[in-house]
Amino acid sequence: DLEMSDPPIGEVTPLETEFQSSAGTSVAAIDALTAAARGADPTTAGWLRRSAANLRRAAALPCGLDEAYTILCDLDGQAAAEGFLQARSESSVLAPILTALDDGATGAQRERLLAAEDAVRQAYVGLASETPIGSALATLALSMSRASSFGIVCFSDETDLRLARARFGGNSEVAGVLRRRMERGQTHITHTGALEAVLQSIEGGKNRNSWRQLILVAPRLAFLDRLLIRPWLPTTALVLCDRAFALRAAGSYATLARDPSFGGERQIGGRLRAIASASKREAEARSVGAVDLELASRPPIDIPDPVVDLAEGSGDGGSSSLLVRLDSGRSLRVRPGSTVIVYRRQAATNPF
């Protein structure tokens, strides 16, 4: 009832949160689409942001696009497979970029669109065979073989769950890990639409404290909002996502965490602060750009003044000065008897 006050916030179980985000060409393409949307007219910006969302969904699949098409054709038929993947396809993501270019975009906006087009094409070269989330899942499944705790793996929707089961069912090593854990009752695999029923069943059981980890695979922010207000959750949560999601989560939950109405550490406020801190750490860790290290030595170029003259004004016309060659490629002109501090890069120690 909109006219009634909200019920008081009760105690909730504490939640330790970790974000594990992906970077790479798909994230670079999403950033390029976002940059292009900022400089576009409202209609084009809306289409570009939708393309970024569709690219994010493609990168969040538990397997590459080619494998996803084959699996869905086998499970649901070709029409259903094409219907599911059409919005996530390269041609759909590229369509608003190419339309904007054909409509005569000029100047800086045209450069942003061309950069976005190139970034999207590069991203789909890799997404055809593997996705960042799929790769992270394969690694995580193998690491679970060394864990004795009980855990829940939750996918964003039922189709992603089916793709994961089919993909890892063909990988004997990964499938063996998950199968053994599920047979022993240590792992439960579900999707966001069925997670509440799973949590209710565990919460009402005798061994709820044994279920310590909840793994969320590419969740949506709205789902995370609903999940955080639940009184009981496993003690730790691992969120697999892309860097853009970690950034959004950090910004959203940092604001909410400062609101005193959400309570302290054993209330929702404590969870909000934990998830805001974890998402911020991950976003900052992934914000370092790539560095191209060129270690081969090259001759110095574009030196404005090849000689540093410390003997200027000596009155001898430079006839008695000395010329010292420096590693930088420049030369140092000094008078005999001058004090010069020598620094050698290769020396184990230097006096100064």
Q: What percent of the chain has pLDDT over 90?
A: 45
Asked whether residue 17 carries a pLDDT value surpassing 70, the answer given is: yes
Joined together, the tokens standing for residue 56 give 């994010």
The answer to whether residues 164 and 190 touch, using CB atoms and an 8 Å cutoff, is no
Indicate the angle between helix axes 172-183 and 158-169, nearest 10 degrees.
120
Residue bearing tokens 């397997």: 63
Three-state secondary-structure class, residue 315: coil
Q: Looking at residue 195, what is its pLDDT?
A: 94
Q: Is 101 exposed, middle or buried (0-12, 13-18, 19+ CB in 10 A)?
A: middle
pLDDT range class, residue 149, cuts 50, 70, 90: confident
Q: Looking at residue 266, what is its pLDDT?
A: 79
Asked whether residue 162 carries a pLDDT value surpassing 80, the answer given is: yes
Side by side, the strands of the sheet bearing 16-22 are 16-22, 236-242, 211-217, 150-155, 187-191
Mean pLDDT of the chain: 82
Q: Which residues pair with 347 in a beta bridge?
A: none
Name the nearest CA neighbour of 88 among 192, 163, 167, 165: 163
The terminus-to-terminus CA distance of the chain in angstroms comes to 75
Give the amino acid at 196: E
Instruction: For CA atoms 33, 39, 44, 47, give the dihedral sign.
Output: positive
* Residue 102 parent element (H or E): helix 90-102
Name the nearest CA neighbour of 136 among 68, 62, 64: 62
pLDDT range class, residue 294, cuts 50, 70, 90: very low
Q: Looking at residue 329, what is its pLDDT?
A: 66
More confident residue, 187 or 232: 232
Q: Which residues pair with 307 in a beta bridge?
A: 331
Query: Span 3-12, mean pLDDT?
Result: 69
Radius of gyration of the chain measured on its C-alpha atoms: 29
Three-state secondary-structure class, residue 241: strand
The pair phi, psi for residue 119, each rounded to 5°, is: -65, -40
**Which of 73-87, 118-132, 141-155, 299-313 has the lowest average pLDDT?**
299-313
